[in-house]
Amino acid sequence: MARIFITGSADGLGQLAAKALVAQGHQVLLHARNEKRANEAMARVPGAEAVVTADLGSMEQTIQLASVVNALGSFDAVIHNAGVYNASAEDILMVNTVAPYILTCLIKRPRRLIYLSSGMHMQGRFQPGDLQNGNSRISYSDSKLHVVMLCKAIARKWPDVYANALNPGWVPTKMGGPGAPDSFESGYKTQVWLAVSDDAKAKVSGYYFSRHKPAPCHPQADDVQLQDKLLTLCARLTGISVPE
């Protein structure tokens, strides 16, 4: 049995992953933005261990969340599922890029890290100036490229951890909309597999997955110098560095 923490698990793919993991007999810690959503999350995922709350749009609350999670013990896997789409550039940067960076740095190192990216990261770009000189130009696609870069940087720096990113597909969540062509099942199964499977194909690191298989990613994601630049900029923004 594994113990897994999932950000953004009050609804959507995070909630479906939580339900699947609980059904398999694993311990799951949920996360919600506020108390109202936390109560809803616990009602919708019977069998979950507990739920923690934090608005990942707040750097202070995100840092505090890491402390709360650490106080609850260690985890075998952390799924960085939370994300925003129809939001300001400031919120997109904070929730999609900075929050997973902070939580990666501060939560006790798990055996596995799973980062939800998007096929839209292929249209993104990493421009250091966007993070240095304000974030008014950061797009959702940019942030999801940042997520793949963060994943690959962590995989390189922490060889004892399986760190992988994935594209859940275009699924009919609140973010994806009712007309999305992919199924919910295709969206959450890969992250569940990466979190707990003993399949040798899942026990790898530094990959970008789609439907259980490694997939091509944006060329910038594999640029080690750009990865390190992203980490440096995130450290400047937050005052938190990646532990060695």
Q: pLDDT tens, position by position, for the chain (244 residues)?
A: 999 999 999 999 999 999 999 999 999 999 999 999 999 999 999 999 999 999 999 999 999 999 999 999 999 999 999 999 999 999 999 999 999 999 999 999 999 999 999 999 999 999 888 787 655 689 999 999 999 999 999 999 999 999 999 999 754 445 544 544 445 566 799 999 999 999 999 999 999 999 999 999 999 999 999 999 999 999 999 999 999 9
Q: Which amino acid is at 223?
A: D
Cβ(115)–Cβ(208) below 8 Å: no
108 belongs to the catalytic site: no
Closest CA to 94 of 129, 53, 61: 61
pLDDT (0 to 100) of residue 181: 44
DSSP H or E stretch at residue 210: strand 208-210
140 belongs to the catalytic site: yes
Q: How many CB atoms lie within 10 A of CB 215?
A: 13
Enter the pTM of the model: 0.93
DSSP H or E stretch at residue 79: strand 77-80
Dihedral over Cα of 222, 223, 228, 232: its sign: negative
Among 144, 152, 207, 208, the active-site one is 144
Q: How many CB atoms lie within 10 A of CB 74?
A: 13
Among 140, 162, 188, 207, the active-site one is 140
Cβ(41)–Cβ(5) below 8 Å: no
